[in-house]
Structure 1
Amino acid sequence: MSMSSEFATSGFEDALIILGAAGIVIPTFARFRITPVIGFILIGMLVGPAGLGALSGDYPWLHYFTITNREAIEPFAEFGIILLLFAIGLELSFARLWSMRKLVFGVGAAELLLSAALIGIGIHFVGQSWGGSIGLGLALALSSTALVLPLVGTSSPVGRAALGMLLFEDLAIVPIIFLLGAMAPFAQQEGWEGLAQTLVIGSLTIAAMLFLGRKLLPPLFAQAARTKSPELFLAASLLVVIIASLATSAAGLSPIVGAIVAGVLIAETEYHDQVEIITAPFRGLALGIFLITVGMSLDLRLIAANWQALLLALVGVVVVKAMVTGVLLRLSGAGRAVAAETGVLMASPSETTLIVLATAAAAQLIRPETAAFWQIVTAVGLTITPLLARIGQDVARRMEARTQEPVPDFTVGDDGEQRAVIIGFGRVGRLVAEMLTMHGKPYVAVESNIDAVRAARREGFPIIFGDIARPELVDNLRLGHASALILTMDNPVLALRIVKKVRGYCPDLAIVARARDATHAAALYRAGASDAVPETLESSLQLSEAVLVDLGIAMGPVIASIHEKRAEQRAEIMEMGELAEPPKLKRRTLREAKSESG
């Protein structure tokens, strides 16, 4: 073999391909505000052995752009899952875990067992043996921790519900694997004894990790912090993850369990924020590698040849899991929208489904061709997880919109009073609303987060639920009768789109927009904004004001200099936007509206 072909098939070239894919996928999909999950899976399909890799024998130059050995990068993908579960553990604490015990061991256990039972019974009726049906039911009932939690986080109601059920599934992986091994036709009584022994040893190992971690981790990270070396801090973090995963693996448990325990232990220390920040790039890259391996398992020709059976199987799994999860969450007291969104989000199979399928095949509970069929179903299910998340959000919004009380016309009241319209009711929008209230100026806010809407209504804020990204909502706001439009959401692309559209049919409306930076502010001015306020500029001016006052300078000169500097910066931004002067007509209209309402 020549040196060039050796290099072409080396792991080093595979690493370059993966890094190149990450460099293309992440910024490209972020530019269009699409999750990079789909991009990584598509890259895996393209460069994998079922894609361009299949042509590398006829076209040797393709060796430099394809990955032909899927098994060679799987260890890196498994390490990515470990880092992801470690990051999830960093967001937890013992107090939070205890508060979630009913969700984890109540709803989580019921969701897994009931979904597995229904899926297994359905598969048995199409000709699978009971042993194989149990194995397939347990495998397909699992949901993807690696994809679900990054899509919704762990702080929202949907995220908390998903986290509780996913934690139980992660803990249940090892008992499931031992159960399938004990059910094998060749298994003897030692299979059950091995399960009991592993659970005992695993429990003792976790208890030892909890005890030693509380004693050893604080001084370890304190020493790393004293050196002020990010490299040493990173090394200490990865060392903890690796040792914890190896410990649980040696005890017969999944390394995922060790990663979660390590994250929970560090979450109890004062260094958890720094650890989370410093390990984030590695988590994203390693997760990308895992998703590439998922894409490499998809053979489009095989999918095309069996698309009807694959579609029927996938739809059946998704429908059963969505219904079971949604019903159980409703019975546990969750709202209709939260239950529906969580059910749809959790409906696809998991990356650990592939592990359980391999175990069932090794135990001879299912045939290899059956395992291959369901592996494709799982890979396709992982691919559509972001789509299911979007569908779940849309379903939840429609359900909330139907259940909300009617909202009166808010742009023009019975007395003909003009109101300002605030789009977005987060930290910035709430502050703007409070200032308008302080000065007696009427307004109404529009927010797409139903939890924020409910909280604001309880506090007495005039707010409605709606997604401003939908063009029909902008049309229904009757902005031609508003006194001002204030855009406070942190979405540069959407803000520009709204400013352009509204300015087209409201030439005299005052439009004040939150800008991410000076460049974004200049673009907003070009689009027709009356005022664009860069976050970076205002935070710098506030910091300067605080410093000057603390240094003993009188408040009057400080305020005057701040206003002068703000005017200078605004003039520079206007020049960037190629505007000779601020839109005086629009600003004059705003002052007239103020005088009329005052």
Structure 2
Amino acid sequence: MQEQHAFPFLREILLFLILSGILIPTLQRLRINQVVGFLAVGTLVGPFGLGLLAGDIPWLAFLTFPRDQGISMLAEIGVLFLMFMIGLELSAARLWAMRRWVFGAGTAQVILSAILVCTALLLASSLDTQTAIILGLVLSLSSTAVVMQLLAQQQATGSPLGQATFAILMLQDLAVVPILLLIGALGKGGGDGVAMLALATVAKAAVAIALIYLVGGRVVHKLFRSFAAHRQPDVFMALILLSTFGIAGLSAAAGLSMALGAMIAGLLLAETEFRHEVELMIEPFKGLLMGLFFMTVGMSIDTRQVLQAPLVLAACVGALVLVKALVVTLLLRAGKLPWGRALEGGLLLGQGGEFAFVAIGYAMSARVLDPALGAQVMLVVGLSLFITPLLARLGRAIGERHDSARHAALADGSEHELASARGRVIIAGFGRVGQQLAKLLGEQNIPFVAFECDAKLVSRLHAEGKPVYFGNASRPELLRRVHAGEAPAIVLTMDHPASAMHAVRGIRREFPHARLFVRSRDEKHARALRLAGASVVVPETLEASLQLSAFVLEAMGLDERLVDGIVDHERELFSARLLEPEPPGPRA
């Protein structure tokens, strides 16, 4: 009797986890782009790599993915979470802060690249107009995962070029929705009435998305607000998974793709005060899920096609990179970036994007795209991803060589505009002290962002338009999400001594140069906080006694300036005492 496994595709899952456990730290140690590494390993162990030899060498079957069933299951999970993470990055606040780059340069890039690619396909092949339009739109998008990781490795995400490329990528991610809708509409069309039917399908899909977004937003927000008060990580993770799979299921029931539903789930959570905590919760799984997706993409690359027509594929990849690099370079130059940095950005965004594999797979299942053509296009996109690190290195060398002297003068206006979303004061704890500080900062037009663990308070303040988010700011990972290393000040106002001490130690370890202002209970607590790394400590008892003393001295007839001097002198003496060793206590 044949043995039946209760858990389907267990071998495939175990093999993927083994490969990931070895691959992720190895790539980090060798400073190799993880996306390229997962693509290469996926190609090697996939059905078109070593899987081709599994029939002749039986033991290879245990180390490869020779079948499609397990691969498609893994790919589906990877796609859902990839789209969820893309949606989570697209908050209205971020879009608005860089609206000129996002909706100006980003929209122009997608439209111009799609037109040029579509025109080139029509001139160089016998494709029909509908297929050329779909491929033009799909190939106009670049890889958010690859580009952002390369920028992070170069520590250039905060530069004018980094912010400009990120803005264009944000618009490309937004363009996913209409492209998926268009493919779905064309899949249901036919004959002379294809345009009208496509329009009707897009309209119905838009209504379905609006309903899911509006109704789902209310439900998701209430769920998180109700259960976040328990502050249990397992409950929070369950809500994240429920939102992702639940909205993906609703999207499929409405006749849309599950990938689109997962992206909507990310968008819904991006607009809530729980966004940063959600990002923090999924951070440990982010690399694994991204690796899952790109490894399955690598498995779909047929190495036999590369060997059959290497020159044709090289020409296609080169043409794609050339067209997109030209468009992006001109747009970045129009945005006042110097020519060298503009060309660097063009080469950085010249590849095809990970969304191409989602869209092309969807188009083939909807019978809009011929499977053989779809496989060839995915191969071109995959190869363009492989060469992206080399293109990025070449672009960086060109940018540094040609524009180092002119960078500051020409990019000043662009840098000022794109830096508007950074450099905020961070307030950890938004009780009475934090709210008073926020009031004073607001009156002086000083931007800030605050974190608070009271879910009800956060929901109320966030609804009033205040930049207050749910989360425990004693976790440095959360502060990295809001660029704490660039903050002019980090203020800890929490009243729990242990939480404040834990936060100071963690922040000082992660951000050694941060200006850290901390509230303390008393002198003993203040001394411990100061020795732990706080820049300035303000004890409640000291300030209360100094203010009371000042009022009494003024009532006794002393001059106000003399009283201010006395109070300031006492503060200086207290600050000096905090750095002295604590006197030993009485012996038992």
TM-score normalised by length of structure 1: 0.63
Q: Which residue of 2 aligns with 1:287?
A: 290
2:377 maps to 1:374: yes
Deviation (angstroms), 1:317: 0.6
Q: Which residue of 2 aligns with 1:165?
A: 171
SS of the residue aligned with 2:214? helix
Deviation (angstroms), 1:315: 0.4
For 2:40, give the aligned amino acid. L
Quick one: distance in 2 between partners of 1:364 and 1:211?
31
Q: Which residue of 2 aligns with 1:215?
A: 218
Deviation (angstroms), 1:220: 1.5
Q: Is the 8 A contact 1:170 1:256 kept in 2?
A: no
2:204 maps to 1:201: yes
Q: Which residue of 2 aligns with 1:138?
A: 137
Quick one: distance in 2 between partners of 1:37 and 1:255?
23
Deviation (angstroms), 1:288: 0.8
Q: Is the 8 A contact 1:120 1:134 kept in 2?
A: yes
Output aligned runs, 1:339-354, within 5 Å.
339-354=342-357
Tell me: CA distance 1:118–1:267, structure 2 relative to 1, closer, same or farther (3 Å).
closer
Tell me: CA distance 1:166–1:75, structure 2 relative to 1, closer, same or farther (3 Å).
farther
Quick one: distance in 2 between partners of 1:34 and 1:146?
14
SS of the residue aligned with 2:404? helix
For 1:33, give the aligned amino acid. R
2:400 maps to 1:397: yes
For 1:202, give the aligned amino acid. A
Q: Is the 8 A contact 1:341 1:389 kept in 2?
A: yes
Deviation (angstroms), 1:542: 1.9
Q: Which runs of 5+ in 2 are unaligned?
A: 410-421, 424-484, 486-507, 511-527, 546-572, 583-588
Deviation per CA, 1:470-503, whole angstroms, max 9, x where unpaired?
xxxxxxxxxxxxxxxxxxxx9xxxxxxxxxxxxx
2:179 maps to 1:188: no
Q: Is the 8 A contact 2:105 2:168 kept in 1?
A: no
Quick one: distance in 1 between partners of 2:368 and 2:408?
54
Output aligned runs, 1:16-165, within 5 Å.
16-131=14-129, 132-152=131-151, 156-165=162-171
Which of 579, 583, 586 lines up with 1:559 in the alignment? 579
Tell me: CA distance 1:281–1:81, structure 2 relative to 1, closer, same or farther (3 Å).
farther
Quick one: distance in 1 between partners of 2:194 and 2:210?
24
For 2:207, give the aligned amino acid. L
Quick one: distance in 1 between partners of 2:357 and 2:257?
14
Q: Which residue of 2 aligns with 1:542?
A: 533
Deviation per CA, 1:484-525, whole angstroms, max 9, x where unpaired?
xxxxxx9xxxxxxxxxxxxxxxxxxxxxxxxx989xxxxxxx
Quick one: distance in 1 between partners of 2:132 and 2:219?
46
Quick one: distance in 2 between partners of 1:379 and 1:71?
21
Deviation (angstroms), 1:177: 1.3
Quick one: distance in 2 between partners of 1:163 and 1:87?
13
Tell me: CA distance 1:550–1:259, structure 2 relative to 1, closer, same or farther (3 Å).
farther
SS of the residue aligned with 1:58? coil
For 2:142, give the aligned amino acid. S
Quick one: distance in 1 between partners of 2:166 and 2:408?
27
Output aligned runs, 1:180-329, within 5 Å.
180-181=186-187, 187-329=190-332
Tell me: CA distance 1:268–1:118, structure 2 relative to 1, closer, same or farther (3 Å).
closer
Q: Is the 8 A contact 1:182 1:192 kept in 2?
A: no
Output aligned runs, 1:347-362, within 5 Å.
347-358=350-361
Quick one: distance in 1 between partners of 2:97 and 2:221?
24
Deviation (angstroms), 1:397: 2.8
Q: Is the 8 A contact 1:86 1:260 kept in 2?
A: yes
Q: Which runs of 5+ in 1 are unaligned?
A: 407-425, 428-489, 491-515, 519-536, 563-598
More deviation in 539-548 or 93-102? 539-548
Tell me: CA distance 1:546–1:95, structure 2 relative to 1, closer, same or farther (3 Å).
closer
SS of the residue aligned with 1:215? helix
TM-score normalised by length of structure 2: 0.64
Quick one: distance in 2 between partners of 1:134 and 1:202?
20
Quick one: distance in 2 between partners of 1:56 and 1:10?
21
Deviation per CA, 1:353-395, whole angstroms, max 9, x where unpaired?
2344456667877755443332221221122333333333333
Q: Is the 8 A contact 1:138 1:176 kept in 2?
A: no
Q: Is the 8 A contact 2:35 2:291 kept in 1?
A: yes
Tell me: CA distance 1:253–1:100, structure 2 relative to 1, closer, same or farther (3 Å).
farther
Q: Is the 8 A contact 2:148 2:166 kept in 1?
A: no
Quick one: distance in 2 between partners of 1:308 and 1:538?
65
Tell me: CA distance 1:169–1:341, structure 2 relative to 1, closer, same or farther (3 Å).
farther
Tell me: CA distance 1:211–1:360, structure 2 relative to 1, closer, same or farther (3 Å).
closer
Deviation (angstroms), 1:282: 2.8
Tell me: CA distance 1:334–1:265, structure 2 relative to 1, closer, same or farther (3 Å).
farther
Deviation (angstroms), 1:160: 3.1
Tell me: CA distance 1:135–1:39, structure 2 relative to 1, closer, same or farther (3 Å).
same
Quick one: distance in 2 between partners of 1:85 and 1:282?
14
Q: CA RMSD in A?
A: 4.1
Number of equivalent positions: 437
Deviation per CA, 1:322-344, whole angstroms, max 9, x where unpaired?
10122133335555455333322
For 2:166, give the aligned amino acid. R
Q: Is the 8 A contact 1:85 1:260 kept in 2?
A: yes
Deviation per CA, 1:185-238, whole angstroms, max 9, x where unpaired?
xx2245334422332233323333443345333331233223332111001011
Quick one: distance in 2 between partners of 1:52 and 1:136?
30
